[in-house]
Amino acid sequence: DQQVKQNSPSLSVQEGRISILNCDYTNSMFDYFLWYKKYPAEGPTFLISISSIKDKNEDGRFTVFLNKSAKHLSLHIVPSQPGDSAVYFCAARRYGGSQGNLIFGKGTKLSVKP
């Protein structure tokens, strides 16, 4: 049973527009949510995180929104650039869990067209 779900396997966006990647979770016992980006043949790289006590965190072009009542988070990229084309993974950490024991979704492949 997947506790972290990314229901869209792919997303295509025009350069300069907003990209919105979505993630749903089923377990209320997560204290941190994270987004990682992965290029082909590379390991995932950390992008941005949000504590469960917040509802928004912003870092440059990247903003993560958390809606705890809906058990939903989203990553907004504005404006999207061709270099943002990658697979994006949503991940969550349990309360009291070890720091690096993260539960990942299956990923969403973002393609930003020039």
Partner 1 sequence: GAGVSQTPSNKVTEKGKYVELRCDPISGHTALYWYRQSLGQGPEFLIYFQGTGAADDSGLPNDRFFAVRPEGSVSTLKIQRTERGDSAVYLCASSLMSGGRSGELFFGEGSRLTVL
Point out which residues bind partner 1 (CB under 8 A): 4, 6, 32, 34, 41-46, 49, 51, 89, 91, 93, 97-107
CB of residue 38 vs partner 1: minimum separation in angstroms? 9
CA distances from 64 to 20, 40, 42, 48, 94 (A): 10, 23, 23, 7, 18
CB of 113 to partner 1, least distance (A): 24
Nearer to partner 1, 44 or 75 (CB): 44
Which of 14, 27 has the CB closer to partner 1? 27
Give dist(CA 105, CA 64) in Å, integer. 16
Q: How far is the CB of 50 from partner 1 (least distance, A)?
A: 10
- Cβ proximity to partner 1, 66 vs 93, nearer residue: 93
